[in-house]
């Protein structure tokens, strides 16, 4: 389990003794597709590292409408910031988009370990600061960019380095909620990009036919440094 923990940026620089302590209080969790991990309002006693599969974090309105807050990929941790609150409760629900495997980490013991190590505290603060920057970018995306731009940005960000294709392994309705567009709007944007010859789509497989056009539509072209276009260079910018 220690080798698996080291893959997470949040945990990769912990000392061997600290990782062993985490393992002593950790548990492996396996979920089937659509199985709930925790519900909004549950006591937040643990945070999680996703090893395999995909998770969705979502909030439910009083009317029961679902808003996807984040889609979690393997190697990512989630719910760790709650360990700093008194009597924390999860502000979202979490469920598996596909069969998934996670490590559940004892939040109370982990917080106790941080109190013993200033260096570890700063490592965690750095990771949380990066996530905060990503959230600020999302606010910018929602307020300054159109639905078409947001969909194009997502596609550009998910292309692996050196590739021009990807598989949409997330249901369209979930992805539309994550991008704050209606499912029918998402479908219209994809059809428009296809009609323009920017992408082609067969089932869940997306092929980028015109990377330059995709970057212009995503409104990312000006943000790139001069040089050959590499869509995959945006792969670390998860929406």
Predicted pLDDT at 12: 79
Residue (of 96, 86, 32, 8) closest to 58 by Cα position: 96
Residue 226 has pLDDT above 70, yes or no: no
Please state which of the ranges 30-34, 85-89, 103-107, 233-237 shows the lowest mean pLDDT. 233-237
Q: Taking residues 112-130, report their average pLDDT.
A: 77
Angle in degrees, 0-180, between the axes of helices 147-158 and 118-144, rounded to the nearest 10? 140
Rounded to the nearest 5 degrees, what angle is found at the Cα of 117, between the Cα atoms of 111 and 122? 85
Domains and CATH numbers, the chain: 2-141 (2.60.120.10), 145-234 (1.10.10.10)
Instruction: Please state the φ and ψ torsions of residue 36, each to the nearest 5 degrees.
Output: -80, 135
**CA distance to 47, 116, 142, 173, 175, per residue, from 108 (Å):** 10, 13, 35, 35, 33
Residue (of 164, 160, 161, 181) closest to 172 by Cα position: 181
Between 235 and 58, name the one with better pLDDT: 58
Predicted pLDDT at 223: 41
What is the rounded CA–CA span in Å between residue 189 and residue 198? 11
Predicted pLDDT at 157: 83
Condensed to tens digits (0 to 9), the pLDDT of residues 159-218 reads 877 888 888 878 888 988 888 888 899 999 999 999 999 999 888 889 999 988 998 888
Predicted pLDDT at 225: 37
Predicted pLDDT at 188: 92
Predicted pLDDT at 89: 94
Q: Average model confidence (pLDDT) for the chain? A: 83
Q: What is the 3-state secondary structure (H, E, C) of the chain?
A: CHHHHHCCCCCCCCCHHHHHHHHHCCEEEEECCCCEEECCCCECCEEEEEEECCEEEEEECCCCCEEEEEEECCCCEECHHHHHCCCCECCCEEEECCCEEEEEEEHHHHHHHHHCCHHHHHHHHHHHHHHHHHHHHHHHHHHHCCHHHHHHHHHHHHCCCCCCEEECCCCHHHHHHHCCCCHHHHHHHHHHHHHCCCEEEECCEEEECCHHHHHHHCCCHHHCCCCCCCHHHHCCCCC
Between 225 and 82, name the one with better pLDDT: 82
Condensed to tens digits (0 to 9), the pLDDT of residues 124-169 reads 777 777 777 766 666 666 665 788 988 998 888 888 778 888 888 7
Predicted pLDDT at 144: 57
Predicted pLDDT at 28: 96
**Percent residues over pLDDT 90 in the chain:** 38
């Amino acid at each position: 389990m220690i080798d698996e923990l080291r893959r997470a940026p949040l945990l990769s620089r912990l000392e061997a003794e600290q990782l062993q302590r985490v393992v002593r209080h950790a548990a492996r969790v396996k979920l089937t597709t659509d199985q709930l991990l925790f519900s909004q309002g549950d006591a937040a006693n643990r945070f999680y590292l996703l090893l395999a599969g995909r998770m969705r974090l979502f909030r439910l309105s009083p009317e029961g409408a679902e808003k996807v807050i984040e889609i979690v990929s393997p190697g990512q941790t989630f719910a760790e910031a709650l360990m700093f609150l008194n009597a924390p409760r999860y502000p979202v629900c979490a469920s598996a988009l596909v069969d998934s495997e996670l490590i559940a980490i004892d939040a109370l013991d982990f917080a106790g370990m941080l109190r013993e190590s200033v260096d570890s505290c700063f490592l965690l603060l750095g990771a949380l600061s990066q996530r905060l920057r990503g959230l600020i970018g999302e606010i910018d995306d929602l307020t300054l960019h159109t639905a078409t731009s947001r969909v194009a940005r997502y596609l550009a960000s998910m292309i692996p380095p050196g590739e021009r294709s990807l598989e949409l392994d997330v249901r369209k309705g979930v992805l539309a909620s994550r991008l704050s567009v209606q499912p029918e709007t998402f479908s219209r944007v994809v059809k428009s990009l296809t009609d323009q010859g920017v992408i082609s789509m067969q089932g869940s497989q997306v092929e980028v036919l015109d990377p330059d056009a995709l970057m212009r539509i995503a409104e990312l072209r000006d943000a790139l440094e001069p040089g050959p276009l590499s869509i995959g260079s945006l792969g670390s910018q998860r929406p």
